[in-house]
Amino acid sequence: MPFDPSEYGRQVADVYDETYAHLDPAAAVRCLAALADGGPVCEFGIGTGRLALPLARRGLTVAGIDGSAEMAAGLRAKPDGDRIEVAVGDFTHTRVPGEYALVLLAFNTIFALPDQAAQVACFRNAAAHLRPGGRFVVEAWVPDPGAFRSGAALRPVRVAEDQVLLEAALLHPAEQRMTTTKIRLTDAGVRLLPANHRYAWPAELDLMAQLAGMTRESRWSDWAGSPFTDTSGEHVSVYRLAEAA
Ligand SMILES: C[S@@+](CC[C@H](N)C(=O)[O-])C[C@H]1O[C@@H](n2cnc3c(N)ncnc32)[C@H](O)[C@@H]1O
């Protein structure tokens, strides 16, 4: 079946904000505002504005691309949502007008793309939106095949009094793919939130950046800038487009 960039958002938009309400965007927003150097900022997979809205409220001009009209509508319905221009489309090739100081792809969304070719296209589209010397920031987990037993894993993502979030996953190492469904348990019942991933190690992402004319400036294990080490489970990677000659 061909890849449908609207599918994830269509399935989760009505519960996305509630499901991830516990995530505090403050450190990410501080870090991104510093990297944006006055902006403007374009977020690929902008969703309901978890990061984009606080960035806009800091005075930065923010635009974005999202595959899901439902997620974009969620953003627009929020206070200050009308300050952010959102194009509904696939961020491997959709263009929003302007030249940006920073392009952002947060929350593992690079892995939502179905294969390596689409991920390379995404890096190229990020570079096409950047002004010379501009930055592309990617936040993603580090693949951990060791967490799987016989190709399967079940892990608690969050256990709270009002919500238990589990993730059931199957690994397909030959294609670096993971089939996952998050299972959200609340007083209202059970919701299944499917999301498939084509995962990649940080070094492969560095190579994609090189193919798009960017080099890595920094890699941290979180938004606070903690060092990236042998045991880091996540990374924030900052790539820079070459300055004009
Ligand atoms: C995990 S959510 C992240 C939303 C937001 N960036 C955040 O941090 O909360 C991923 C978002 O990317 C969008 N998305 C996934 N694949 C896409 C694609 N190929 N093109 C455009 N948007 C895509 C989804 O619709 C969803 O809104």
pLDDT in tens, 93-109: 999 999 999 999 999 99
Report the separation in Å between the CA atom of 68 and the middle of ligand 1, taken as the mean of its atom positions.
8
**What is the Cα gyration radius of the chain?**
17
Mean pLDDT of 4-28: 95
CA quadruple 142, 49, 192, 112: dihedral sign: negative
Quick one: pLDDT at residue 1?
76
Mean pLDDT of 43-59: 98
Mean pLDDT of 140-169: 96
Task: State which residues form the domain around 84.
Answer: 7-143+201-241
Report the separation in Å between the CA atom of 4 and the middle of ligand 1, taken as the mean of its atom positions.
12
In this structure, the answer to whether residues 87 and 180 fall within a common structural domain is no
In this structure, the answer to whether residues 138 and 151 fall within a common structural domain is no
Instruction: With cut-offs at 50, 70 and 90, classify the pLDDT of residue 2.
Output: confident
158-190 exposure pattern, b = at least 16 Cβ within 10 A, e = fewer = eeeeebebebebebeeeebbbebebbbeeeeee
- What percentage of the chain exceeds 70 in pLDDT? 100
pTM confidence score: 0.97
| Ligand 1 cavity residues, CB under 6 Å | 5, 8-9, 45-47, 50-51, 65-68, 71, 90-92, 106-107, 109, 112-113
CA distance readout (Å), 125 to 40, 61, 95:
16, 19, 8
Quick one: pLDDT at residue 244?
78
Strands, E assignment, the chain:
41-44, 62-66, 85-88, 100-105, 130-141, 152-159, 164-172, 177-186, 189-198, 214-220, 234-241
pLDDT in tens, 189-205: 999 999 999 999 999 99
Mean pLDDT of 147-170: 96
Report the separation in Å between the CA atom of 112 and the middle of ligand 1, taken as the mean of its atom positions.
8
In this structure, the answer to whether residues 103 and 160 fall within a common structural domain is no
Q: How many distinct structural domains can be found in the chain?
A: 2
Evaluate if residue 157 carries a pLDDT over 80.
yes
In this structure, the answer to whether residues 21 and 130 fall within a common structural domain is yes
Report the separation in Å between the CA atom of 244 and the middle of ligand 1, taken as the mean of its atom positions.
31
Structure tokens at 31: 């870090």
